[in-house]
């Protein structure tokens, strides 16, 4: 494998890791606050559709992004209503949201565009264009550093940079602010937070809301930057890979970045090479597809470092009387 091919694979890794990273951080906020969210997939899908639909109608990708975030937030509110206000089962609510998004997106797409559950292809300002970082052209000639800068770091859409910037931001928010401390506390010991006179319900709604915004950006990235338009079920399990990455990262932001890059790399390699011939045996493409899930099960099993979820995760908080 030559240097340029390696760069191309890594470049594709960055593109494929971006939606995973955004969804993973979304899940991180929610689950750190004690609300399990297996509806990441559905929220991304709804955001993908509405961003592509509005972007294609208005011709403005930023309007699309806003619509995507709004759609994802609406589903977040539903999740919050079910799991915080009505103290329902968070997992079942997540399942319902996934199906709701899978069904409604196709239904509305068919009604609005009559193209078999897809949106028209986005062109021009309807898509996020690649940003060429300053100096990318002139530095490209420098050996090693030049191509890395111009090929790998420069030339992505703005949402990619947003996603990567979210990692330190999330870390800072969670570990260096009062809000972050409270957010983490509400996922570990909500009764303590309540005793301190802070609203458990309010904090959890905020966390679920942040989760909705980030999922919205992830979905919009899929439909308006990675691809040009919405197709049925276009998230293709990415929400669950993000969930896997979250567990793999043990609910920590920097590790989430590494996990998403790893899973992105697996996707990039599977996309480029199909079956990989290692000489002694052939690694089938299906194995590469399944690897994120297998790795997550191994991590969950605790054979390679145990993944312990937030203590109050999945349980509705009932105020003591």
Q: Which residues contact other proteins by CB under 8 A?
A: 38, 78, 81-83, 86-93, 95-100, 102-104, 106-108, 110-111, 117, 237, 240, 243-244, 247, 284, 286-287, 289-290, 293-294, 296-297, 300-302, 309
Which tokens in the block code for residue 240? 């669950």
User: Is 104 or 125 the residue whose CB approaches other proteins more closely?
Assistant: 104
User: Is 1 or 308 the residue whose CB approaches other proteins more closely?
Assistant: 308
Among 109, 166, 154, residue whose Cα is nearest residue 129 = 154
Smallest gap from residue 109 Cβ to other proteins (A): 9
What is 140-179 written as a DSSP string?
TTSTTHHHIIIIIISSEEHHHHHHHHHHHHHHHHHHHSHH
User: Is 69 or 109 the residue whose CB approaches other proteins more closely?
Assistant: 109
User: Between 3-32 and 238-248, two packed helices, what is the crossing angle to 10 degrees?
Assistant: 80
User: Is 9 or 95 the residue whose CB approaches other proteins more closely?
Assistant: 95
Smallest gap from residue 298 Cβ to other proteins (A): 10
Smallest gap from residue 14 Cβ to other proteins (A): 23
User: Is 96 or 213 the residue whose CB approaches other proteins more closely?
Assistant: 96
Smallest gap from residue 150 Cβ to other proteins (A): 36
Cβ pair 140, 147 in contact under 8 A = yes
* Partner residues linked to 277 by β-bridges: 282
Cβ pair 221, 55 in contact under 8 A = no
Cβ pair 223, 233 in contact under 8 A = no
CA pair distance 258, 248, nearest whole angstrom: 9
User: Is 24 or 243 the residue whose CB approaches other proteins more closely?
Assistant: 243
User: Is 202 or 284 the residue whose CB approaches other proteins more closely?
Assistant: 284
Q: Name every residue whose Cβ is closer than 8 Å to that of residue 148 and which is 6 or more positions away in sequence.
A: 7
Residue reference for tokens 């196709």: 106
Buried b (16+ CB within 10 A) or exposed e, 161-182: eebbebbeebbebbeeeeebeb
Smallest gap from residue 173 Cβ to other proteins (A): 25
Smallest gap from residue 224 Cβ to other proteins (A): 22
Smallest gap from residue 80 Cβ to other proteins (A): 11
């Amino acid at each position: 494998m030559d240097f340029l091919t390696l760069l191309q694979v890594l470049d594709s890794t960055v593109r494929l890791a971006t939606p995973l990273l955004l969804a993973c951080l979304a899940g991180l906020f929610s689950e750190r606050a004690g609300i399990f969210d297996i509806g990441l997939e559905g929220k991304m899908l709804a955001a993908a559709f509405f961003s592509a639909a509005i972007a294609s109608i208005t011709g403005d990708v930023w309007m699309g992004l806003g619509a995507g975030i709004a759609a994802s937030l609406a589903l977040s509110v539903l999740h919050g209503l079910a799991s915080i206000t009505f103290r329902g089962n968070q997992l079942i609510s997540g399942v319902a949201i996934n199906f709701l998004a899978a069904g409604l997106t196709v239904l509305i797409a068919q009604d609005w565009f009559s193209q078999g559950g897809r949106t028209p292809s986005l062109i021009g300002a309807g898509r996020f264009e690649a940003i060429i970082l300053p100096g990318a052209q002139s530095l490209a000639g420098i050996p090693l550093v030049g191509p890395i800068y111009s090929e790998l770091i420069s030339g992505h859409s703005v949402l990619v940079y947003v996603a990567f910037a979210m990692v330190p931001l999330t870390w800072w928010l969670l570990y260096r602010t009062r809000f972050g401390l409270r957010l983490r506390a509400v996922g570990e010991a909500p009764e303590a937070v309540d005793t301190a006179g802070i609203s458990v319900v309010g904090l959890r709604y905020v966390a679920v809301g942040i989760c909705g915004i980030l999922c919205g950006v992830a979905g919009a990235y899929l439909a308006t930057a990675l691809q040009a338009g919405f197709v049925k079920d276009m998230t293709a399990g990415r929400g669950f890979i993000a969930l896997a990455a979250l567990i793999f990262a043990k609910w920590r932001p920097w590790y989430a970045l590494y996990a998403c890059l790893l899973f992105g790399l697996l996707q990039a390699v599977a996309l480029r090479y199909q079956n990989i011939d290692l000489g002694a045996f052939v690694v089938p493409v299906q194995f590469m597809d399944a690897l994120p899930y297998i790795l997550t099960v191994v991590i969950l099993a605790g054979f390679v470092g145990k993944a312990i979820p937030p203590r109050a995760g999945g349980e509705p908080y009932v105020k003591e009387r």
